[in-house]
Amino acid sequence: MQGIVKRFGDLTANDGVDFTLAPGTIHALLGENGAGKTTLMRALYGLTVPDAGEIHVAGRSVEIRSPKDAIRQGIGMVTQHFSLVAPMTIAENVMLGHEGGFRLDHRQARRLVFEASERAGIAVHPDSTVSALSVGQRQRVEIVKALSRDARVLILDEPTAVLVPQQVELLFDALRRLRDDGLAVVFISHKLREVMAISDEVTVLRQGKVSGRAATRDVDEEELARMMIGRPARAVEREGAGGDGDVVLRVEELEADNELGLPAVRGISFEVRAGEILGVAGVSGNGQTELAEVLSGMRLATSGRVVVDGDLGRIPEDRRASVVGELSVAYNLVIEELGAYRRGPMLDERRIRRTAEELIERFDIRARPGDLVGGLSGGNMQKVLLARVLAREPRALVVSQPTQGLDVGATEYVRGQLLAQRDAGAGILLVSEDLEELLALSDRLVVMYEGELVGELDAAEADVQRIGLLMAGMVGGSR
C-alpha cells in the first residue's frame, strides 16, 4: 500500500500511509484508538475506498473497490463483529459468497471446510450449526471461511478481544502454522504484550501516519509505546492490597433478565469493601453487562437485594450513551446535579462554568467548558464521566469497561484514577473484559459464566490459566 489517504469530512484517518506485507510473516499493525489502523485495512479489503494512493499485489497495481475484489486478489479479513449466519452450518456459511450457481454443492462445501481446517490446524466439523458454537469457535470458522477462498493474506482486527487465555493460545498456534505455510497475516491490536508474542514485524500508526516500523525482535514494549504515544507507557502504581474496610456494597441473591426476558443474572451474592477493587471477569455475554446495569439503576432486578453504604457512583459501559453529545462539556459535568446550580428560576451559568473549569483542570480534560461533548475523543469523554462521578466522592463505585477503546495514554490515566479512589477508601466493583486490566487493578476477582459466579480468587495469586478455564465454564470454584 503506497500513499494511502482516506478522509471522512474534515477528519483525515489515513494521511499518506505506506504499508508493506511480506509472505510468511505475521505483521502487527499497532496504534492508539483512532490512529487509522482499521481504516487502512478496510481499504485493503475493499470495505472503504481510499481517496488517494495505490495498492500493489505481487508487484502489480490493483484496484480494490469491494470485498469481492479483495477476495479475488487472495485477501481475507476477519472483523471484530463476525458475519456468520447462526442457523446455518459451518459448511453453508463457508459457501456463502462463493461463485457458482444457485444450488449448494454439499460435497464441495465439506471438502473446502476440511482443506481449510487442515491448513490452519483448526478442528471444525462442517455439519455443526454456528448457533451452537462458542465465540472462539466462531472466530475459527471465520478464519476457515477466509482460507477456503485461497487467501494469501489474512487480516485479523483485534482478534483476541472476545477470547479467554486458552483460546488466545489456540489462535496464536493457528496463526504460526499459517505463517509457516507462507500466508501473510496482519494482526491489528492495541495490546503490546500480544504484539510482542505473535508478530515478526510491526508497523505503528499515530494520528493517521506511520510513526515507526521495525522487526519485532529489535524492539521492546517501551519502544513500541513511544512510537504510539510519543513517550514510554507508565506502569500503574499500586500501594499494597485493599479489602480490610467496611462493606460498602452488598449484593444478595440477585437475579435479572436480559432484553429477551431470559435469565441473565442468576442468584449472585458478593460484597465490596472500602479500600478494595473487586474485579468481575468473564467472556462477553455472560451476564456482566446486566449485573452492572442493575447496580447502576439502569435495569430492574427480578429478585434479590442490593445494599449500599453511602453514595454510589457509576461509570457505565457505553460512554457515548452516558453523555449528551449536543450539550457542552460544562453542562455534562453538572447535569446530574443541575438542581444545585439554580438561582431562582434560572441556572447559574457563571457557577456552572467555574465548576467546569475546576474539573477540567483537575481531571486533565483536553477541552473548554463550551465545547460540545460529542466532538471529544473517547479518552476525553471518559474523563468527563470520571470527573462527574468522582467529584461527588462516592463511597462505592460500579465501573464497567472503563478503558474499552481508549488509547494507551487515556488508559493509563483512567486506571490511575481508579487506584487513587481505591486508596482514598472507596469500594470499587470493576467489570472488564480485559483480563490484564483486572489483574493489574483488582484485589479480588470473581468470574461469571452463564449468569452465575463460578469462582473467586485473590488477584495477587491468581492463575491466568485457571481464570481462563473458569471463564469458559470448564471448572468449578468457590462461591
Indicate the domain borders of the chain: 2-229, 236-311+394-479, 318-392
pLDDT of amino acid 276: 96
- 2-229 against 236-311+394-479: fold identical: yes
Listed residue (193, 217, 190, 215) closest to 205, CA to CA: 190
Cβ-Cβ contacts under 8 Å for 280 (sequence gap 6 or more): 288, 291, 429, 430, 431, 432, 438, 445, 446, 447, 448
The CATH number assigned to the domain with range 2-229 reads: 3.40.50.300
pLDDT of amino acid 190: 75
pLDDT of amino acid 22: 96
pLDDT tens, per residue, the chain with 479 residues:
999 999 988 778 999 999 999 999 999 999 876 788 989 999 999 999 999 999 999 999 999 999 999 999 999 998 877 788 888 888 888 888 666 555 677 888 888 888 888 887 877 888 889 888 877 788 888 888 888 888 899 999 888 876 777 778 888 998 999 999 999 999 998 778 889 999 999 999 988 999 999 999 999 988 888 888 765 555 555 665 666 789 999 999 999 998 888 899 999 999 999 999 999 998 777 899 999 999 988 899 999 999 999 899 999 888 888 899 999 999 999 998 888 898 888 999 999 999 999 999 999 898 999 999 988 887 889 999 999 999 999 999 999 989 877 767 778 889 999 999 999 999 999 999 888 889 889 999 999 999 999 999 998 888 887 888 888 777 654 43
Torsion of CA 363, 378, 14, 30, to 10 degrees: 80
CB neighbour burial string for 322-350, b if at least 16 within 10 angstroms, e if fewer: bbeeeebbbbbbbeeeeeebeeeeeeeee
Class of domain 236-311+394-479: alpha beta
Cβ-Cβ contacts under 8 Å for 98 (sequence gap 6 or more): 148, 149
Listed residue (74, 37, 416) closest to 195, CA to CA: 37
Q: pTM to 2 decimals?
A: 0.68
Q: How far, in Å, CA of 351 to CA of 18, rounded?
A: 50
pLDDT of amino acid 424: 93
What type of residue is 253?
E
DSSP state of 89: B
pLDDT of amino acid 479: 38
β-bridge partners, 29: 188, 203
pLDDT of amino acid 33: 67
pLDDT of amino acid 235: 56
